[in-house]
A and B are shown apart, each in its own frame.
Chain A
Amino acid sequence: KAGVTQTPRYLIKTRGQQVTLSCSPISGHRSVSWYQQTPGQGLQFLFEYFSETQRNKGNFPGRFSGRQFSNSRSEMNVSTLELGDSALYLCASSLSAGGPADTQYFGPGTRLTVL
């Protein structure tokens, strides 16, 4: 069974631009969560989608948004990029509707650099 895939793997943008990252979960997984990982802050939860609905949301500004499609694939968008948005963005999928207690399987991440 294929794992979680994320595209692109690397991205360089400039301040003020916007970016869209994509995540395809493991086949059969319906929950997709997004995390931001930086050296100082560790892994921070952005949001979780289940059945095309945002079920949970972390403490990030409204510039960070996401959506999930009927095939469970998910995208996240960051508008008006800031230097501090440079990070590894990780997507994780889980099997069912159990929320955060379900084991999450992570994709390889998208390394975003904002110049």
Chain B
Amino acid sequence: GQNIDQPTEMTATEGAIVQINCTYQTSGFNGLFWYQQHAGEAPTFLSYNVLDGLEEKGRFSSFLSRSKGYSYLLLKELQMKDSASYLCAVTGANNLFFGTGTRLTVIP
């Protein structure tokens, strides 16, 4: 089966760096997505990792270790608008499976 674990909630300060972890167990793994979802809105694509290593995209970076079943999303220079839920999703068994998401609150 599939199992995805993320912390439920995190709080960080504006301007700081925060790391959101995701561990997973799945069959037929193809890759891992990170999505951002603001309250009341649809998820929006942030990153996709298929190979081990770090993918950097502006203030956001995503890391994947396939052997450890582990990924993290790194957000730098946090802004108030980064307050949102961050969803980790893995491909497996021809489906896309989402974790329950990490609600990040950025405080001044």
Which chain B residue shows the least CB distance to A41?
A: B100
A5 to B21, CA, bound (A): 31
**Binding stretch for chain A, among B55-63, B64-72, B74-82, B87-95:** B87-95
B48 cross-chain contacts in A, Cβ below 8 A: 103
For the complex, is A25 an interface residue (Cβ under 8 Å from B)? no
Contact with B along A69-104 (1 / 0, CB 8 A): 000000000000000000000100000000111011
Provide the residues of chain A in CB contact with B94, threshold 8 Å.
Answer: 55-56, 99-100
Complex alpha-carbon distance, A56 and B97, angstroms? 12
A105 touching B96 by the CB < 8 A rule?
A: no
Q: Which of B5-64 contact A (CB under 8 A)?
A: 30-31, 33, 35, 41-45, 48, 50
Q: How many residues of B contact A (CB 8 A)?
A: 23
The interface size bin for chain A is: 20 to 34
Distance, CA A44 to CA B33, complexed state (A):
15
Asked if A100 meets B100 with Cβ closer than 8 Å, knowing A108-B41, A109-B42, the reply is: no
B45 near A103: Cβ-Cβ < 8 Å: yes
Q: Is the pair A100, B42 in contact by a Cβ cutoff of 8 Å? A: no
Which residues of A from 26 to 59 have beta carbons under 8 Å from B? Answer: 33, 35, 40-45, 48, 55-56, 58
Known: A33-B96, A45-B96, A45-B97. A101 touches B41 (CB 8 A): no
Q: With both chains docked as a complex, state the minimum distance between the C-beta of B60 and any C-beta of chain A, in angstroms.
A: 15
Complex-state Cα separation, A108 to B42, whole angstroms? 5
Question: Cα distance A55–B94 when bound, in Å?
Answer: 9
Q: Is the CB of B98 within 8 A of A90?
A: no
Binding site for A on B (CB under 8 A): 30-31, 33, 35, 41-45, 48, 50, 87, 89, 91-92, 94-101
A residues lining the B interface (CB < 8 Å): 4, 33, 35, 40-45, 48, 55-56, 58, 90, 99-101, 103-109
Q: Which 3 A-B pairs have the closest CB atoms?
A: A42-B100, A43-B98, A106-B42
